[in-house]
Structure 1
Amino acid sequence: MIPDAPRLGLPWALAEAQAFHLQGVGRLARAERAAAKGRAEQDAPAYLAAETARLSAIREQLTAEAEQWWQALISDDEDTVCEAVNTAFSDNPAAGCAVGVDGSVLSVVMRQQDLDSMPTQTPGVTSSGRPTLKNLTKRDRVLWWLTSMGSNIVATLKEGFATAPAITAIDLAVLTRLPDTQRLGFVAYGRWTRQAIESTPWREPEDALRFLDIGQDVACSVTTTASGNLSSTIKALDTSRVPGLQDLLDHAQDESDTGEPSLADLDVTLGASTRRDDQAPLTDPYRIRPFSEWKQDTSAGPLPAPLAPPAPPAALIPGQTLVLPEEAWQGLRVAFSFAGADADLTLFLTDVDGRVAGDEDFVFYNQPFAADGAARLLGKQQEGPHAVERATVHLAALPERVRRVAVAVNMDVDTDLTCGSLTHAALYMDCVTGAAWTFQPPAAPDIRAMVVAELYRHTIDNRPAWKLRALGQGWADGLDGLARAYGVDVE
């Protein structure tokens, strides 16, 4: 599914155009300001039409590319399947790597945790009921390791089948570093069909050992002795039964001395999670071309000279309010910078009661636009030691029903961290004139989501105005509690 291109409206285009044309025009120069606004009114419809057409063309191109990719995936094209599966495997605790496709059979190598890294003790109680640690027997430790390997095998198989819908079977081989030699060796391999994996119930930890029974030609270095117990040693399997395994081992390096990732590093190279705030920022295919860029492409005349460097931002304290200058209505730039943990910027466009009119007024990473482009997230990227997520709010382009805009942050929902884990957190806002404000929210250890600041409509001398209030108030239950407080339906 390719997301729709953002909807843009004339109020947004007019606000962008006015912000551009009013650069360098003094607030008391009424004739010049009127002329600048007139030029903006002439440019806005053409700018809106150009951006709408350009974004529509981009979506058509993305849709065509996605269809081509999907056809390659369901046709079991080797490069497409391996790339998709390896992307899915990239955050697994036991790194898996798709290495080839033969017909509808996918080949995967998995790097299992070494036995030497497993605990040697387990919690227990003494005869008097006191808690203690008991040493694991060698056999119990091997059983623990085998159950872990079975879990990782099942998870890898399920994820591989889920990602590659036309694959009917997976040949999987498991590597680990052997305890006696400290060299890599294969400790399990076999073929598992989609039907076998999908028809088997996986509910209890003991179910992980079913991988031994439901596969084809399964070999495992941990065997059952004549007395019915598991063996207490782990030895490398004979690789001559499966073509290619010995060749793979012959070219594997235990330790990389070339600086290149080795087979022994699979668990590090492929198992590292790729974060949204990685050093290489993601490219937004729906990046909106700034008005100045569009004007440069369509105008033969010189553009206005850039403004002088802005003055230092005014630092706000919790509860402080101020009236925003009119220039900020046309385009208020927002940046939240932080370190120490991951967080996301969110916006809520609310009515006079402080609630959204619908879920479409909730701007977050899965819905980065609202009000026909009047509020939008611009993405997150790493800038030196800090991550920075940016947004823009065109207050003049917001519909009349929107009375307030809450600028909030929430901790990554996949972690159990609180705002107390954030360091160097700061909200920065500025506008085209160079006027800027900054606010450092409190590092609250008990909350996971926080409204950092609020923009709201006001009336001064019977004239409309927008004000900014620094807040720093939060919710312990994170994004869900924050969204509910503003009337967003959370399933």
Structure 2
Amino acid sequence: MLTRLPDTHRLGFVAYGRWTREAIESTPWREPEDALRFLDVGQDVTCSVTTTASGSLSTALKPLDIIRVPGLQDLLGHALDDPDSDGTSLAGLDISLGGTTPSGGGGPVADRYRVKPFAQWKQAAPVGSPPLPPVPAVVLPEEAWQGLRMAFSFAGADSDLTLFLTGHDGRVAGDEDFVFYHHPSAADGAARLLGKQPEGPHTVERATVHLSALPEHVRRVAIAINMDVDTGLTCVSLTHAALLMDCATGAAWTFQPPADPNIRAMVVAELYRHTVDNRPAWKLRAIGQGWAEGVDALARAYGVDVE
């Protein structure tokens, strides 16, 4: 991320990493806190934004040490920063886009490189701007009914994958429809946790769901993650967290749970029965609903009797 630093008005790198189009487009960008999600949806990300002694995010943008990263110094050296140059510079781009330069001749020229607070930017947004569209549900291929594989990959703190087999009302018919580490199988093995193991720098917990073998009373399958209750940590302690689902056809879907500092358990995605062209179908959609109290509150929300 190349920007003009407020203190010097010079170009500088404040973040670098790798981001996929899928990760960017699948992430909601609605609130100030969402702006920091780019740290979570990227890979090998380094950022100059730090926390203060009180734990709050610093509002100061400082340049990264580009000497330590091969290639960044060369990129910065070739970035056009002179408005009088023959090429298109960032200064000229600011002018062509309007920036904050006044159209009249009176009064002082506003600093077009000033960092604009999110609240001010949002207030100045056009009235009636449409909200970001929700992530659409997808119809699963019939091959996925015979074996939908899941892999929850993460690093940092420990976390667990859990499944809830629910009815139309979103609640389990009994505690036996709650699949977690103490009860890793339900519906005669149609929903099953396969265990957790290290794979390179990450930990991966796998599961399978045979949708065609689920009993008729199961209308939905909620796929959730929860932090280890003994640590008291929240999802912000997870790094590189991703839920990958695929089937025998090679079709795959990836969900990246946000590193929310206030959440200890979260429903990441949901499978649900549907009708498409008058034929039964299963659909998959993203959820992203969290519980600050952790897995106990999550379980109670789905009708599990937690003592």
TM-score by length of 1: 0.35
Of the three residues 260, 263, 269, the one matched with 1:453 is 269
Q: Counterparts of 2:260 and 2:194 in 1: how far apart (Å)?
A: 26
Q: Which residue of 2 aligns with 1:335?
A: 151
Q: Counterparts of 1:425 and 1:443 in 2: how far apart (Å)?
A: 8
Measure how far apart 1:427 and its partner are: 0.4
Q: Does 1:364 align with 2:180?
A: yes
Q: Does 1:349 align with 2:165?
A: yes
Q: Which residue of 1 aligns with 2:258?
A: 442
Q: Which runs of 5+ in 1 are unaligned?
A: 1-316
Deviating 4+ runs (over 2 angstroms)? 317-320
Q: Which runs of 5+ in 2 are unaligned?
A: 1-132
Q: Which residue of 2 aligns with 1:411?
A: 227
**SS of the counterpart of 2:188?**
helix
**SS of the counterpart of 1:425?**
strand
Query: Bigger radius of gyration, 1 or 2?
Result: 1
- Aligned alpha-carbon RMSD (Å): 1.1
Q: Counterparts of 1:410 and 1:360 in 2: how far apart (Å)?
A: 19
Q: Aligned partner of 1:367: which letter?
A: H
Q: Does 1:384 align with 2:194?
A: no
Measure how far apart 1:318 and its partner are: 6.6
Q: Counterparts of 1:437 and 1:489 in 2: how far apart (Å)?
A: 32
Q: Does 1:323 align with 2:139?
A: yes
**SS of the counterpart of 1:483?**
helix
Q: Does 1:394 align with 2:213?
A: no
Q: Which residue of 1 aligns with 2:306?
A: 490
**SS of the counterpart of 1:347?**
strand
After TM superposition, the structure 1 = structure 2 runs for residues 92-491 of structure 1, keeping only pairs within 5 Å, are 319-491=135-307
Percent identity, please. 83
Q: Counterparts of 1:452 and 1:442 in 2: how far apart (Å)?
A: 9
Q: Counterparts of 2:258 and 2:267 in 1: how far apart (Å)?
A: 11
Instruction: Write out per-residue CA displacement over residues 432-458 of structure 1, whole angstroms, 9 at most, x where no aligned residue.
Output: 111111111111110100001000000
Q: Which structure has more strand as a fraction of its residues? A: 2
TM-score by length of 2: 0.56
- Across the two proteins, how many residue pairs are aligned to each other? 175
Q: Which structure has more helix as a fraction of its residues? A: 1
**SS of the counterpart of 1:319?**
coil
Measure how far apart 1:319 and its partner are: 3.4
Q: Counterparts of 2:299 and 2:209 in 1: how far apart (Å)?
A: 19
Q: Aligned partner of 2:166: which letter?
A: T
Given the superposition, is the C-alpha separation of residues 465 and 472 from structure 1 closer, same or farther in structure 2, using an over 3 Å criterion? same
Q: Aligned partner of 2:241: which letter?
A: A
Measure how far apart 1:429 and its partner are: 0.4
Given the superposition, is the C-alpha separation of residues 329 and 411 from structure 1 closer, same or farther in structure 2, using an over 3 Å criterion? same
